Amino acid sequence: CPAPSALRTANGTRICAQLYADNSPYYDQCCAGAVLVADPGADVPYMPTGWADRVSSLVVGTRCELSVWSRAGKKGKTRKFSA
């Protein structure tokens, strides 16, 4: 998985979090498959098509916090992740 401080786009813009579709019990094989990028300040109350119940690993950038909910539309239980 990338280091939290290394989350940047190809042109150097900061990324707040990256969510990955594939995971593995072996650390060096984690953070694989399709990637969903969360930009700083993004507010996404619904997961994009095909991503519901699919995220298996994530990396949150430095100075960022990722809040997730157990149900669509920011309902249900919430959990916060940070670097």
How many domains is the chain built from? 1
Structure tokens belonging to residue 24: 């593995």
19-60 tens-digit pLDDT: 999 877 777 778 888 999 999 999 988 888 888 888 888 999
Q: Is residue 67 part of a domain?
A: yes
Query: In sequence order, what are the beta bridge partners of 68?
Result: 79
Kindly state whether residue 66 falls inside one of the protein's structural domains. yes
Q: Is residue 4 part of a domain?
A: no
**Assigned domain for 9 exists:** no
What is the C-alpha to C-alpha distance for residues 26 and 57, in angstroms, rounded to an integer?
12
1 domain residue, yes or no: no
Model confidence over 3-14: pLDDT tens digits?
999 999 889 899
pLDDT of residue 35: 93
| Residue 1 pLDDT | 86
Across residues 53-80, what is the average pLDDT?
92
Domain that holds residue 65: 17-44+51-82
pLDDT at 38: 93
Task: Please tell me the distance from the alpha carbon of residue 58 to that of residue 53, in angstroms, as a whole number.
Answer: 13
Q: Which residues of 27-64 are buried (b: 16+ CB within 10 A; e: fewer)?
A: eeeebeeeebebeeeeeeeebeeeeeeeeebbbbbeeb
Residue 8 lies in a domain: no
pTM as predicted = 0.84
Domain assignment present for 3: no
